[in-house]
Amino acid sequence: MRSYLIIFAFVVGGTNAHSWLVCTDYLEKNARDYISHKCRGYPRAANKFLHTDVVFGEESGYDHEPAEDAPCRVRRNDRVHYDSEYPMAVYYPGQQVVLAHPMKGHGGDADCTNAYIPDTGNWIYRSVVNVNREISLSEYRKNLVFDLGVSPVGNDQLSRTYPKPGFQNGPDFCLNQDQSLATYSFNVPLDLDPGRYSFMWLWAFNYPTELFSTCFEVEIARNQMHRNRILRDRGYRNLSVPCGGITSNPAIRGTCDAQSTVRYSRYPGGSSQRTSSSIQLAITNIIVIFMSAYPS
């Protein structure tokens, strides 16, 4: 019976698999609802495809299956694709960053779908510093910024457990399978030189096929103080970093990552609590190790 479910999930889910990043610097880790004013950085051409006055996760033609000579939905043009309302992200080395995307139905949750919806790879890649042209898919994949992990598949209990690594970290998925919010957490490498980079988020629904990408430019500041000055110049008052609690990827261990338990209630004010216990996190870590063996 379980083998049948796995095949069913791959065939049916794979038919409509797609998603994209909506925010590249979100202010809330493991959030339940997308709030546009909590976004301080946007993906490439968000000013054309991802207007903040439309429903989160609404279809806009932004999803993209990358090819070697077309890794991104649109070719790079920073002057056109970013503006004061939809600025590119600014990070500092060592910062913990939150990315936000809609689930678009691709969650494995035994309470509303099943535990066998695949998630087989999630990565952030980058260009070299201060490149001013579009680069190829293989050029992006020479420089791994972070392996975002994979969601646990095939375990009913872990499918219901949030936060979790990988694509399926959407605590309210069962309330709105299409347009619910999911987030990733990752740490910016400490050795990145200041300057401008092109980043690419790559999600493998079924590795090595059915890949989806979103590209976004990032200014890497010299340090946190430098980043704060840039954000102030853009008019942002909230300069915080979403630290505390646990990250969506339990492999992350950094100054932002307090060792604590986070509890989620599926229904506001309800009794259905979602808890990430130390045992569940340990199991998730083991799953991440085995399932992240795909090449980067």
The pLDDT tens digits for 86-99 are 999 999 998 999 99
What domain range is 255 assigned to? 2-291
State how many domains the chain has: 1
Report if residue 296 sits inside a domain: no
Low-confidence ranges of the chain (pLDDT < 70): 1-17, 244-296
Report if residue 148 sits inside a domain: yes
Residue 3 φ/ψ, nearest 5 degrees: -60, -40
Q: What's residue 208's pLDDT?
A: 81
Q: What's residue 242's pLDDT?
A: 84
Query: Distance (Å, rounded) from C-alpha 196 to C-alpha 127?
Result: 9
Residue 271 burial by CB count (10 A; 0-12/13-18/19+): exposed, middle or buried? exposed
Q: What's residue 112's pLDDT?
A: 97
> Taking the model in full, what pTM does it have?
0.81
Q: What's residue 184's pLDDT?
A: 92
In 122-224, beta strands by DSSP E: 122-126, 144-147, 181-187, 195-206, 209-220
Q: Using alpha carbons only, what angle is made at residue 174 by residues 169 and 177, rounded to the nearest 5 degrees?
A: 80
In sequence order, what are the residues at sequence separation of 6 or more whose Cβ sits closer than 8 angstroms to the Cβ of residue 53?
Answer: none
Q: What's residue 253's pLDDT?
A: 53
Paired strand residues for 101: 182
Q: What's residue 54's pLDDT?
A: 87
Q: What's residue 141's pLDDT?
A: 96
Q: What's residue 209's pLDDT?
A: 82
Report if residue 157 sits inside a domain: yes
Query: Distance (Å, rounded) from C-alpha 112 to C-alpha 52?
Result: 29
- For residues 168 and 107, is the Cβ–Cβ distance under 8 A? yes
Q: What's residue 281's pLDDT?
A: 38
Query: Distance (Å, rounded) from C-alpha 189 to C-alpha 30?
Result: 21
Residue 4 burial by CB count (10 A; 0-12/13-18/19+): exposed, middle or buried? exposed
Nearest to 85 by CA among 38, 35, 47, 50: 47
Q: What's residue 244's pLDDT?
A: 60
